[in-house]
Amino acid sequence: MPRRKQLTFKIKDLRCAQYLIAELSQLPQLTNFDMTSIEISIKENKPVPKIIKKDIDVLIDRLQRGFSANKHTLTQLNGRYLVTNTHLAKWMRTTPASVNKWIKDGLIKPCQDPHVCFDYFNVDEVTEQLRKQKQ
């Protein structure tokens, strides 16, 4: 992923410089600093996270095949299979770091159950969440 663009402005070039300098010069930790050397940096917005559309069908197919081939080895609790992010990564042939990033970005969501102390996934729900990314 390319770096985000960053713009830097010198505070003395801004019309509001006198107000900012007056406010900052009142702070005791800035008494020995040159207030005219202040710079403001602004970074470009992060791009919206997404999974490449052409890969979604492949991921769904791999997930369904992996689940159907390995569900007999999974632990069940109250009739639900306890599928972890490691299982998802293995079945979709991607890395656990990628799955964790998708979780962090909100592309897929784990199930919420107060009886289980870790995140687990319902394969049907993950499939639907991936299909929504394709739209």
Tens digit of pLDDT for each residue in 44-100? 888 777 777 778 889 999 999 999 999 888 888 888 888 989 999 999 999 999 999
Percent of the chain with pLDDT over 70: 99
* Mean pLDDT for the chain overall: 87
Alpha-carbon distance of 67 to 79, in angstroms, equals: 15
Tokens 């919420």 correspond to what residue?
A: 112
pTM higher than the cut 0.85: no
Which of 108-125 are b and which e, b meaning 16 or more Cβ less than 10 Å from the residue's Cβ? bebeeeeeeeebbbebee
pLDDT of residue 27: 92
pLDDT of residue 82: 86
